[in-house]
Chains A and B, each alone.
Chain A
């Protein structure tokens, strides 16, 4: 009897203790490491497809093996399709991924949820060579604390079929005008962040709304953007998530105008027979994306993580990734090493004038990201709900 009572008491105490320690508030912030030690032997990376190639897609394309040989950190890669999927994977597997390449509309959410830790950029020697325009942005630096190392950037562009669409479109506003000749054949990105593209149009067509940042929209501005998108809905033939689906639509004529990435245009033009498309960045500016390499706050492979980030942002590797994926590299010394001498010119890698009116993807928050304090802005939840309403 006594033994059972003691055992029972111990069991209850164990439960209570574990509940107390487990149910506490957020994890305490780990202190910044001051030096990179020896590799732990393993690393799991969550990346956009094409960023961390280890010979699995194409045996000739592998910049992971040199890293594994040099540091002894065996790399396991997992890819994702959208920023939302990346965030979802993190929240369901908080300890699985050590390093992630997060776009601006995932990075801040990861920081807020406590999933990633601050990065000591002094330990990453390639950080010094990153284009200054990519550093200290609101989606990779919070209150002066760096949460990652910039990777590269790209712009969303306007693409059209040159044989079908005459005259060629010149502004985004035409993609929202139901009287356009190509109405019914428009292809746009299927994500709530696309609302920012409508806001970019409104910055030029309705300056009285006073939109300063397409990710900081108060009630009136947001309602105007949503109305513009609802006006666009009947013109849409495709909402794309998978870039190959947009390629299919342009190739077989289901879409003749759309928002796209440079890599899609390059692939279509490179086909046999080539699909006759052309692409511009309209004068209103555009939304874009810039990715950041971030480290899991619960990682057990911190040294391998730092070594990997240093490796992937080095000029030699950064340009390989940029050329393979089709984006502008983040390391200023990378362009000199490009296989295709025109690569950096096509992707405007060091043309800062090109990026001046590009708004990198960023998570909208209730505290307006343009700095306004006299009002609150719509947070990402509101964007998500509105997006499903727009699609109807």
Chain B
């Protein structure tokens, strides 16, 4: 089909005007790097593969591989006399897990503590995140983000030990409450719950902050235009939109509490799943510790599947 050129029928377009180039540019010498670059350019999938090889390799070999080894170990057993692992398939560990009521009690206790910590973190974090996202001026917001992140710079052990001092019999908390005639919770599960809430609060504030920031203010305006007052808007508009972010934050607080053993060993004498696993590592009864480890792992897999359903992964 003849091309109608804007410049008129006599004009065949720039390409025809220009004579064929006198000499084609000589191809560059085929050095190794050039060949490699060329080869990669032609094979986009190989490029992608090489790029991902490092992280995927780490994920598959180091992470998934070690989980598989853990899983296999759970089906082995230990010779009580020599203390060495017997590499033979057996279900003894899982039978012991199910039969002995201790493990049910400890699992339930751990899950309840994780749930309590998650709910408390959500309640405490929400006003802070809301203020940061909606009310604070940009400068204040920046300062608040720094303030929220600063505890994360301190080592976990320092924070846990500090709380040990605070909750001690002659610690800061009792000293503070003494004029009011009250006494702090001291060491115990209530004290532990306080410590966990403190430790994981930044992990709940940040996803909530991100989620609240994403809500366009126009929606809130539209809601009030339609006649909804503050609480109604919050309940009907803000909360459903921020819910995935809430679930995302809860993943952190729940999973971190579920597996923790250091804070419980410092603040209480009661045992949580992590303490039991550690005790068995100490014996060392590695097969039974592996079987025990599968319990929080299974709980988290179920939790993560639920979280995905509720849209948490889009909010992260």
Contacts and interface: CB of A to CB of B under 8 A. Distances in A.
Check if A and B associate: yes
Contacts of A253: 169-170
Sorting the interface of chain A by its residue count into under 10, 10 to 19, 20 to 34 or 35 or more gives 20 to 34
B167 to A, nearest CB: 9
A84 B283 contact: yes
Nearest to B281: A88
A388 interface: yes
Interface stretch (A108-116, A151-159, A265-273): A108-116
Contacts, number: 72
Q: Which of B187, B270, B282 has the most CB atoms of chain A within a 10 A radius of its CB?
A: B282
Contacts of B138: none
Tell me whether chain B's interface is mostly helix, strand or loop, or mixed: loop
Contact of A91 (B80, B269, B276, B284): B284
Interface residues of B, number: 27
B186 to A, nearest CB: 8
B81 interface: yes
A113 B187 contact: no
B16 to A, nearest CB: 61
A237 B282 contact: no
Nearest to A83: B282
A380 B284 CA distance: 11
Given A87-B284, A389-B100, A252 B83 contact: no
Given A88-B282, A239-B269, A252-B169, A392 B105 contact: yes
Contacts of B81: 112, 365-366, 379
A345 interface: no
A302 interface: no
B102 A392 contact: yes
B78 interface: yes
Q: Which of B279, B280, B281 has the most CB of A within 10 A?
A: B279
Contact of B271 (A82, A91, A365, A391): A391
Interface of A: 82, 84-85, 87-88, 91-92, 109, 112-114, 236-239, 248, 252-254, 365-366, 379-381, 384-385, 387-389, 391-392
Q: Nearest 4 pairs between A and B by C-beta?
A: A84-B282, A88-B284, A381-B80, A253-B169
Interface of B: 78, 80-84, 100, 102, 105, 164, 168-171, 186-187, 269-271, 276, 279-285
28 contacts: A82-B282, A84-B283, A84-B284, A85-B282, A87-B284, A88-B281, A88-B284, A109-B82, A109-B83, A112-B81, A112-B83, A238-B269, A248-B164, A248-B168, A252-B168, A253-B170, A366-B81, A379-B80, A381-B78, A381-B285, A384-B283, A384-B285, A385-B100, A388-B102, A388-B271, A388-B276, A391-B269, A391-B270
